[in-house]
Amino acid sequence: MTMKLDLFTWPPLIAIFLNITLALLALKQNPRSRLHRLFALWNFCVAVWNVGALIMQTAPSAEAALHSGLYIPGLLPSHIGIH
C-alpha cells in the first residue's frame, strides 16, 4: 500500500517529527527531572495521536479510517505517567 502525499498528509508528518524531536531533546537535557520525563511522555503520546491521524487521512476507505481511529487515544499513557 502506498501513501498518498497531498496537502493533508504533511501536517501530521511534520507534527510526528517535531513531537519526537522535542521529547528526545527534553530527555537528553535532563533525564532525571520529573518534569522533563512528563514532557517527553506527553510528546510521545501526541506523536502516537498524530500517527493515528495520519493513518486515518491516508486510509483507502471510510471503514479503514474508522478502524484506524483506535490509535488516536495516544494520551492514555500520560495519565499513568503523572502518578
Q: What is the rounded CA–CA span in Å between residue 7 and residue 54?
A: 12
Angle at 69 between CA 22 and CA 16, to 5 degrees: 15
pLDDT higher than 90, residue 14: yes
Instruction: Identify the pLDDT of residue 17.
Output: 97
Question: For residue 33, what is the DSSP state?
Answer: -
User: Tens of pLDDT along 31-76?
Assistant: 999 999 999 999 998 898 888 888 888 888 888 777 766 656 654 5
Instruction: Identify the pLDDT of residue 76.
Output: 53
C-alpha Rg value of the chain to the nearest Å = 15
Could you tell me the pLDDT band of residue 3, with boundaries at 50, 70 and 90?
low
Could you tell me the pLDDT band of residue 83, with boundaries at 50, 70 and 90?
very low
Q: What is the rounded CA–CA span in Å between residue 6 and residue 1?
A: 16
